């Protein structure tokens, strides 16, 4: 028979075997640990602090999934993790999320304390991020779900593809202008016209013919890939119904609807229309001091992808909707075309936000006896 002291020792040993190995590090369930990460391509600097600001651990770990798995087992629990937004943040965020009470991503432009410091290195950066997290001063930015980010990546790749296609079209036109080849610019990139031009124009000499053929092949491939990418997103079951509702708004086509759905993500995170308009970059910044209030031009702190698409849609929307045409004309009377375009774009944001929140198709104002449709 075991003595009372021996029995307590066996019970303690059994508990330590059953306990999670991550918890057996001096941590307490009542003490939260705050971890700041300074993320780079190959390494991640980290700093672990408690609520009082005492440093428990700091160092570097390799930026690979295997090394992160080994490192996370050495950390005390419970823990909160924060890192700065970079191109590498997405996969690290997804990988660490199941192993912490919460993972937060800081807006890089808002971390002024790090950028303005006299001494700046990876260890200090990680320490300051941990301090911002534990003091609740971290300028957190929204992290969309993994599903939305994966589809957003496809849409942004399509945007890059379109830019390259436009550059190649301009290059074809430039080659013809350099040689003084007579052509109709509007029809240049039509398949039939380009083939006739190559076959029948004597002004096109042998020095630019191979370049023109290569350029045309690149444009055709880009057009096919563009169609394939957009079609795959439109057929996605996760987006199909949402895109159908958005396209009931006047002036909203397939690209505008896709960009809105994937760049805005969950619209419930916007508490008001003003927040959504600000996120889309359709308003200026405000600088106030005492009795002086100064409005600056359009703020650069915005989602540039949705801003560009909404402004392009706002240029065409007044042709398709009488209400938007009246709004555009009213703003034009004030003497500024850009201001009128922004007013239409803000109206589109209001309508699309209403369609998203109510999960209903858009209904024109005429059917409400002149009342606002949104």
Model pLDDT for residues 185-201, shown as the tens digit of each residue: 888 888 888 888 888 88
- The burial class, CB within 10 Å (0-12 / 13-18 / 19+), for 144 is middle
Mean pLDDT of 251-255: 94
2-11, 208-217, 249-258, 263-272: the lowest-pLDDT one: 2-11
2 band by pLDDT with thresholds 50, 70 and 90: very low
In this predicted model, which residue has the larger pLDDT, 224 or 26?
A: 224
pLDDT category at 73 given cuts 50, 70, 90 is: very high
Whether the predicted pLDDT of 293 surpasses 90: no
Quick: pLDDT tens for 127-143: 999 999 999 898 888 99
Q: E-strand spans in 141-243? A: none
- CA dihedral over 336, 338, 343, 347, signed as positive or negative: positive
* 8 A C-beta contact, residue 54 and residue 76: no
Q: Is 79 helix (H, G, I), strand (E, B) or coil?
A: strand
Q: What is the pLDDT of residue 298?
A: 78
What pLDDT is stored for residue 24 in this prediction? Answer: 40
Can you name the residues that pair with 46 across neighbouring β-strands?
Answer: 37, 59
Check residue 13 and give its pLDDT. Answer: 39
Residue 317 has pLDDT above 70, yes or no: yes
Range 15-24 average pLDDT: 38
335 vs 104, more confident: 104
Q: Band of the pLDDT at 290, cuts 50, 70, 90?
A: low
| CB proximity list for 49: less than 8 A, separation 6 or greater | 33, 34, 35, 36, 55, 56, 127, 130, 131, 134
According to the model, what pLDDT value does residue 127 have?
92
User: Is 273 a residue whose pLDDT tops 50?
Assistant: yes
Percent of the residues in the chain that have a pLDDT greater than 70, as a whole number: 86
Mean pLDDT of the chain: 86
Confidence grade of residue 19 (pLDDT, cut at 50, 70, 90): very low
> For position 1, what pLDDT does the model report?
42
Question: What number is the average pLDDT over the span 222-241?
Answer: 95
When pLDDT is cut at 50, 70 and 90, the band that residue 369 belongs to is low
pLDDT band at 206 (very low <50, low <70, confident <90, very high): confident
Average pLDDT over residues 231-250: 95
**Could you give the dihedral angle defined by the CA atoms of residues 184, 189, 193 and 194, in that order, rounded to the nearest 10 degrees?**
110
Give 231's pLDDT tier (boundaries 50, 70, 90). very high
Q: Across-strand partners of 82?
A: 36, 104
Separation between Cα atoms, residue 201 and residue 175, nearest integer Å? 14
Distance CA 33, CA 56 (A): 9
């Amino acid at each position: 028979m075991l003595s009372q002291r021996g029995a307590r020792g066996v019970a303690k040993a059994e508990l330590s075997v059953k306990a999670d190995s991550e918890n057996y590090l001096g941590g307490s369930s009542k003490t939260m640990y705050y971890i700041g990460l300074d993320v780079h391509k190959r390494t991640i600097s980290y700093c672990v602090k408690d609520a009082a600001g005492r440093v428990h651990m700091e160092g570097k770990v390799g930026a690979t999934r295997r090394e992160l798995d080994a490192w996370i087992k050495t950390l005390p629990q419970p823990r909160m993790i924060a890192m700065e937004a970079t191109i590498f943040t997405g996969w690290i965020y997804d990988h660490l999320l199941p192993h912490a009470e919460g993972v937060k991503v800081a807006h890089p432009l808002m971390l002024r304390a790090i950028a303005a410091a006299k001494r700046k290195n990876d260890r200090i950066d990680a320490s300051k991020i941990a301090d911002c997290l534990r003091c609740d001063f971290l300028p957190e930015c929204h992290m969309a779900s993994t599903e939305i980010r994966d589809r957003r990546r496809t849409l942004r790749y399509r945007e890059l593809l379109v830019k390259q296609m436009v550059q190649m079209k301009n290059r074809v036109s430039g080659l013809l202008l350099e040689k003084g080849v007579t052509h109709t610019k509007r029809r240049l990139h039509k398949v039939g016209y380009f083939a006739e031009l190559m076959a029948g124009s004597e002004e096109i000499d042998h020095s630019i013919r191979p370049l023109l053929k290569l350029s045309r092949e690149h444009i055709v491939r880009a057009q096919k890939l563009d169609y394939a990418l957009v079609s795959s997103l439109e057929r996605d079951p996760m987006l199909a119904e949402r895109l159908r509702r958005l396209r009931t708004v006047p002036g909203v086509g397939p690209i505008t609807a896709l960009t809105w759905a994937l760049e805005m993500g969950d619209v419930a995170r916007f508490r008001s229309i003003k927040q959504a308009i600000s996120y889309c970059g359709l308003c200026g910044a405000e600088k106030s001091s005492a009795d002086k209030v100064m409005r600056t031009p359009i703020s650069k702190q915005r989602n540039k992808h949705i801003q560009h698409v909404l402004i392009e849609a706002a240029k065409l929307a007044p042709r398709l909707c009488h209400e938007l045409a009246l709004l555009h004309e009213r703003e034009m009377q004030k003497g500024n075309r850009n201001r009128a375009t922004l007013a239409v774009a803000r109206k589109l944001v209001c309508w699309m936000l209403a369609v998203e929140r109510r999960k209903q198709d858009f209904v024109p104002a005429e059917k409400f006896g002149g009342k606002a449709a949104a």
